[in-house]
A and B are shown apart, each in its own frame.
Chain A
Amino acid sequence: MAESTVLNLVLWLPVLGMVALLLAPHGTDRAIRGFALALMLLQFVLAAWLYRRFDGAVAGLQFETRLPWIRDWGVHYHIGLDGLNVLLVALTAFLGPLVVAGAFSAIQKQVKLFYAMVFFIQFAMLGTFVAQDLFLFYVFWEAMLIPMFLIIGIWGGERRIYATLKFVLYTAFGSILMLAAVIYLVYSQSQVTGSMSFAFSELGRYPLPLDAQSWLLAAFALSFAIKVPMVPLHTWLPDAHVEAPTAGSVILAGVLLKMGTYGFMKLGFPLFPDATRAFLPALMILSVVSIIYGACLALVQTDIKKIIAYSSISHLGYVMLGLVSLDLIGIQGAIIQMVSHGLVAGGLFMMVGMIYERCHTRELAHYGGLAKLLPVYSVFFMILTLASIGLPTTSGFTGEFMVLLGAFNAAWPSYLAGDSLPLVVAVTAVAGVVLGALYMLWLAQRLLFGEVKAPHQPFTDLVAREKAILLAFVVAIFALGLFPQGPLAKTELAARDYQQRVLASRVPEAAP
């Protein structure tokens, strides 16, 4: 009993913090910042404890809480950790204090509201990951929009209104369709079983014909694909990243994008396995298109944040590739890649924020030779660049290697059986690693090497707070790169379960 309380605490602590902040009298900004950091650190400690206690050998949910909420509709407040979300919860809690600390010098106006919004979004993101009831999931999914809208809209850059509206409307459009699908799904299930239920464990059980599955999958997939983001539904991301404040970008890249892939992994594919398998070629093609297209576009950008935004699209293409490979190594690799991307992209955006605070420009053309001006900064930037490229010993390699191996492992038998599309996809994805190196090294070169130039000199190298933040990122990246067995052991059962469910069939038996 006590253990599940910890998960509830982790989830609701940000809400308490938000309420406390909004109700508190006009304190000093310093007190607010200190409070926010303390709260986030506490949440991280609790989440770390949950992570350590999570037992990878036990199937099903751990630290579960199930309370009836809306009885007549079969809605419960049902949360729990399983192999699919335990790493993501840990990632979210890990990034919390880093985001808060990173925003100390960047956010100067309406500080109270800002941290309240950060808490709100932590709550919404964590809720999405731990929710085991479809209604609850949807509520949290939608709830995330409000704080993000405000974060980009109030503390963002010049085109922030355009960017935040684009982000919200795009995401909301997908969500509306998803709502329709949710209603239909629950309704059709209630026709079969006689009572309504939103529980994940119930929704997958009864037979569902292929065409119904296809439409439902399309609706869910649209919403998730917008979030991931998958090409061609990705254009909100570069604008959102560029205009968002640093903390917003770190949250967006670090966790928010994973909500889309998590949605696919938890809901989209396992609930509609036959439709997923029918659409597998299209999904594979879209994944590899994301990889290549994102990488190519990153090559021709002039704004540093846009480069990293497009690199995010490319990296998440690997995650999708791993998920649709339906190979255990690929699936595990996708989960690791999710976490790795959160760390790497989050770290890179944090670093862009640091340089922006000093030089007030994100144009690559304004920079050069930073290795001479900011040696410590450059070391961290180089490490994060290498992690993004997927250099072995970093988490990027673990994720990419496993995804590519899984994709290939699944593709080769198909090739021998006559279907060469998966193999073409896998080989193209492997070729994508070259492009990945190309644009990241190009960025590093323009930024760090060559002739020295930067506006608003002289400026200081990293202060202790910034070094601590980046050190946390780097340590996590190397830990995941050198010792992935810990996380992998925790996710294996859930990955297997996902694989089995997507390979199973829900189509009703043919009438005798």
Chain B
Amino acid sequence: MNLLTLIVLLPLAGFLLNGLAGPRLGKGFVSVVGCGLPILAFLATVRAFMQLNGAEGAALVETAYTWAVVGDFSFDIAFYFDRLSALMTLIVTGVGSLIHIYSTGYMKDDASYARYFAYLNLFLFFMLLLVLGRSLLVCFVGWEGVGLASYLLIGFWFDDPAKAQAGKKAFITNRVGDAGFLLGMFLIYHALGTLDFDAVNAAFTGPVAPAVSASLVGLLLFIGATGKSAQIPLHVWLPDAMAGPTPVSALIHAATMVTAGVYLVARLNGLYLQAPEASQVIAVVGLATAFFAATIAVVQTDIKKVLAYSTVSQLGLMFLALGVGAYGVAVFHVYTHAFFKACLFLGAGSVIHAMSGEQDIRKMGGLARKIPVTFATFAVATAAIAGIPPLAGFFSKDEILWFAFASETGGSPLLWAIASFSALLTSFYMFRLLWLTFLTPSRMDHQTEHHVHESPFSMTSVLIVLAVLSAVGGFFHVYDFLEPVMPMPAASESLHHLKMPLIYVATAVAFAGLGLAWFVYRDGLARGDRLRQRFAGAHRLLSGKYYVDELYEAVLGRPLHWISDRVFLVLGDRALIDGSLHGLAATAQRAAGRLSRVETGNLQTYVLLVVLGLVASLAWMWRNG
């Protein structure tokens, strides 16, 4: 059986079944199909994984069919399963299935239940194409496809124009990145005549350097990654994407789609190893994103927005790791991040569910006792993301910080310092979130408080599973597992003795964040408000997200509209082109009007003209013999 093709097609079947027949066959059918097929896909992935282990590390390759043959080149739809794909597919199908199960509880009362699961399965289908694709082409199909699914799911409650708008923003921003992806793909095709990942990596790590600059290709593909993984400057869509249902935020905008960029760079590690300039850019962009997003998260008051900026920040750390050559470590962070971020988002969903839709943390507080399971899992996940040992986040974040410091391909103390400061901020704002939501005295209004209740088992069970994974997941050292596919970068020998001290520093940073958060927020908003008044300017800048959206609107949005309208339409089309046309027509009409004056209606004039013409032609004939 074509196992890989099956894995990919199972969610597609779910999409078709639920999309076409779902509304008619009721919620039970939709739930079974919608959750069952991803679970089957997960089991199939496990089976493939076992096959992979049995095959002594050689990747599984399956060609589904030939899409097009042009000249000598054949564009095939093929799938490739090595350790990296295995890990990613397990995350996608595993965490994906969990979130599907959670959704049966969260979306229980929604009128468009079938449509939701159809879209979610569609997303899974495209995401699997992305991570299982053998060539950049198949990856791109999945890449655009997850953008589509994201668009549909962000704007899921499309009655609200703001939500539909957020979906559109996501798609357009992604498209800008996709333009870069396309250019990079074209360059690779032109230079190497192939789009297959394994062939590309082999070409760049082989003895003969290809004719194209690895850095150029790397940068172009990174632009694509920037769009999909919400890095500066294309990060603006992710916070707005919180308009979608919370499980969507968990699946797409935390665990899977946004990690596609990381996957792409990690997959092409052969290329990026030969592209130091591009890697440097990646590291700097990742670090900058990590830092700036963390600063913005500190002042957010919507529970989902905090997590959104936190995701952007964590993705930045992943790119930092990629930039210094630690590809396996970056994927390790993808893996741990999937667990704790999904747990956090789903926990937030549970909170919102309990709070009858309230998302503002200034109106929460004291929930720890009322929704204990949500609190416990949220706390574990928070500790994980903050980097408290021995939870998962500690291991992955620590490795990133170590290589940021010591990697011989780009590591430096400066990178480490800023990254550590971002980690401090992360710990701070996450514990701030925890305290303000759960542990401070209640600021809820009475109506809401009355209705607070723990979420159903379909939701809490998933939270527990994810919390456990966030706790113990870090013990599986993914980067060792991925070593055959992506070697670890060399760490500077002279700095090896600093490894343990740095671990202590990282731990201290995590606890420092915890402590600061406790200090400022343990009693509620009062101290925080005083700080806000003291640093009003900075606060405005941060809550305005550094005014990036406004900048884009002013520099890109409005001028585009203005040029299209005033220059192209009014001036170009109407005045110039149509104007000259109408001018020509008017000239023809005027000329005809003047010429028609020959027709006086007077017989004698006509006779005169005839005779004159006759005389003239006779004279001419006489002159010319």
Contact pick for A392, options B140, B175, B189, B569, CB 8 Å:
B140
Q: B176-184, B307-315, B483-491: which lies at the A interface?
A: B176-184
Interface size class of A (residues with CB under 8 A): 35 or more
Contact pick for A371, options B66, B141, B158, CB 8 Å:
B158
Q: Indicate if A402 sits at the interface (CB-CB under 8 A).
A: yes
- Which residues from A are CB-within-8-Å of B189? 405, 409
Interface of B is mostly: helix
A297 vs B66: C-alpha distance when bound (angstroms)? 38
Closest to B141 in A: A392
Closest to B173 in A: A434
Q: Indicate if B186 sits at the interface (CB-CB under 8 A).
A: yes
Q: Indicate if B190 sits at the interface (CB-CB under 8 A).
A: yes
Q: How far is the CB of A170 from chain B (nearest CB, A)?
A: 8
- Which residues from B are CB-within-8-Å of A448? 158
Q: Are A297 and B187 in contact (CB under 8 A)?
A: no
Closest to B140 in A: A392
Contact pick for A297, options B68, B160, B569, CB 8 Å:
B569
A372 vs B164: C-alpha distance when bound (angstroms)? 13
Give the residue among A296, A329, A402 with the most B Cβ atoms within 10 A: A296
- Which residues from B are CB-within-8-Å of A430? 179, 182-183
Q: Indicate if A130 sits at the interface (CB-CB under 8 A).
A: no
Mark contacts of B128-167 with chain A using CB atoms, 8 A cut-off: 1 yes-contact digit, 0 otherwise.
0000000000001100110010010001001111001100
Q: Indicate if A4 sits at the interface (CB-CB under 8 A).
A: no
Q: Indicate if A438 sits at the interface (CB-CB under 8 A).
A: yes
Closest to B186 in A: A408
Q: Are B159 and A372 in contact (CB under 8 A)?
A: yes
Q: A17-25, A149-157, A483-491: which lies at the B interface?
A: A483-491
Q: Are B68 and A488 in contact (CB under 8 A)?
A: yes
Contact pick for B145, options A296, A393, A401, A441, CB 8 Å:
A393
Q: Are A386 and B573 in contact (CB under 8 A)?
A: no
Q: Are B161 and A451 in contact (CB under 8 A)?
A: yes
Q: Are A433 and B178 in contact (CB under 8 A)?
A: yes
A122 vs B324: C-alpha distance when bound (angstroms)? 63
Q: How far is the CB of B66 from chain A (nearest CB, A)?
A: 6
A32 vs B185: C-alpha distance when bound (angstroms)? 53
- Which residues from B are CB-within-8-Å of A300? 561, 564-565, 568-569
Interface residues of B in 335-389 (CB under 8 A from A): none
Q: Are A299 and B175 in contact (CB under 8 A)?
A: no
Q: Indicate if B553 sits at the interface (CB-CB under 8 A).
A: no
- Which residues from A are CB-within-8-Å of B577? 232, 234-235
Contact pick for B568, options A293, A391, A442, CB 8 Å:
A293
Q: How far is the CB of A375 from chain B (nearest CB, A)?
A: 9
Closest to A298 in B: B564
Interface residues of A in 348-402 (CB under 8 A from B): 369, 371-372, 386, 391-393, 397-398, 401-402
Q: Are A445 and B186 in contact (CB under 8 A)?
A: no
Q: Are A299 and B561 in contact (CB under 8 A)?
A: yes
Q: Indicate if B572 sits at the interface (CB-CB under 8 A).
A: yes
- Which residues from A are CB-within-8-Å of B568? 293, 296-297, 300
Q: Are B172 and A441 in contact (CB under 8 A)?
A: yes
Q: Indicate if B432 sits at the interface (CB-CB under 8 A).
A: no
Interface of A is mostly: helix
Q: How far is the CB of B234 from chain A (nearest CB, A)?
A: 11
Q: Are B141 and A332 in contact (CB under 8 A)?
A: no
Q: Indicate if A77 sits at the interface (CB-CB under 8 A).
A: no
Closest to B178 in A: A433
Q: Provided the pairs A297-B568, A405-B189, A408-B190 are in contact, do residues A450 and B141 lie with their beta carbons within 8 angstroms?
A: no
A408 vs B180: C-alpha distance when bound (angstroms)? 13
Q: Indicate if A404 sits at the interface (CB-CB under 8 A).
A: yes
Q: Are B179 and A433 in contact (CB under 8 A)?
A: yes
Q: Indicate if B498 sits at the interface (CB-CB under 8 A).
A: no
Q: Are B68 and A485 in contact (CB under 8 A)?
A: yes
Q: How far is the CB of B121 from chain A (nearest CB, A)?
A: 15
Q: Indicate if A412 sits at the interface (CB-CB under 8 A).
A: yes
Closest to A435 in B: B560
Q: Indicate if B253 sits at the interface (CB-CB under 8 A).
A: no
Q: Provided the pairs A296-B560, A409-B190, A450-B158 are in contact, do residues A235 and B165 lie with their beta carbons within 8 angstroms?
A: no
Closest to B212 in A: A412
Give the size of the chain B interface in residues (CB under 8 angstroms). 48
Q: Are A329 and B70 in contact (CB under 8 A)?
A: yes
Contact pick for A293, options B67, B144, B151, B572, CB 8 Å:
B572
A188 vs B89: C-alpha distance when bound (angstroms)? 67
Q: Are B168 and A431 in contact (CB under 8 A)?
A: no
- Which residues from B are CB-within-8-Å of A408? 183, 186-187, 190
Q: Indicate if B501 sits at the interface (CB-CB under 8 A).
A: no
Q: Are A445 and B165 in contact (CB under 8 A)?
A: yes
- Which residues from B are CB-within-8-Å of A391? 144-145, 148
- Which residues from B are CB-within-8-Å of A409? 186, 189-190
Closest to A400 in B: B182
Q: How far is the CB of B573 from chain A (nearest CB, A)?
A: 6
Interface residues of B in 557-592 (CB under 8 A from A): 560-561, 563-565, 568-569, 572-573, 576-578, 581
Closest to A398 in B: B68
Q: Are B564 and A434 in contact (CB under 8 A)?
A: no
Q: Are A402 and B70 in contact (CB under 8 A)?
A: yes
Q: Are A485 and B190 in contact (CB under 8 A)?
A: no
Contact pick for A369, options B159, B165, B182, B563, CB 8 Å:
B159
Q: How far is the CB of A488 from chain B (nearest CB, A)?
A: 5
Q: How far is the CB of A187 from chain B (nearest CB, A)?
A: 28
Q: Indicate if A243 sits at the interface (CB-CB under 8 A).
A: no
Q: How far is the CB of B569 from chain A (nearest CB, A)?
A: 6
A500 vs B185: C-alpha distance when bound (angstroms)? 27
Q: Are B165 and A437 in contact (CB under 8 A)?
A: no
Mark contacts of A456-498 with chain B using CB atoms, 8 A cut-off: 1 yes-contact digit, 0 otherwise.
0000000000000000000000000011110011001000000
Q: Indicate if A138 sits at the interface (CB-CB under 8 A).
A: no
Q: Indicate if A182 sits at the interface (CB-CB under 8 A).
A: no
Interface residues of A in 170-227 (CB under 8 A from B): 170
Contact pick for A485, options B69, B71, B155, B161, CB 8 Å:
B69
Q: Indicate if B80 sits at the interface (CB-CB under 8 A).
A: no
Contact pick for B190, options A412, A434, A442, CB 8 Å:
A412
Q: Indicate if B171 sits at the interface (CB-CB under 8 A).
A: yes
Contact pick for B175, options A369, A433, A489, CB 8 Å:
A433
A166 vs B175: C-alpha distance when bound (angstroms)? 37
Q: Are A485 and B144 in contact (CB under 8 A)?
A: no
Mark contacts of B488-517 with chain A using CB atoms, 8 A cut-off: 1 yes-contact digit, 0 otherwise.
000000000000000000000000000000
A234 vs B145: C-alpha distance when bound (angstroms)? 33
Q: How far is the CB of A331 from chain B (nearest CB, A)?
A: 9
- Which residues from B are CB-within-8-Å of A267? none
Q: Are A442 and B158 in contact (CB under 8 A)?
A: no
A291 vs B170: C-alpha distance when bound (angstroms)? 23
Q: List 8 A-B contacts (CB under 8 A).
A: A232-B572, A392-B144, A397-B141, A412-B187, A437-B175, A441-B172, A449-B161, A451-B159
Query: CB within 8 Å of A: which residues of B?
Result: 65-71, 73, 140-141, 144-145, 148, 151, 155, 158-161, 164-165, 168, 171-172, 175-176, 178-179, 182-183, 185-187, 189-190, 560-561, 563-565, 568-569, 572-573, 576-578, 581
18 new A-B pairs (CB below 8 Å) besides A300-B568, A449-B158? A232-B572, A235-B581, A293-B572, A297-B573, A300-B561, A300-B564, A300-B565, A332-B70, A391-B145, A393-B141, A412-B186, A438-B172, A441-B168, A449-B155, A449-B159, A452-B159, A484-B68, A485-B67
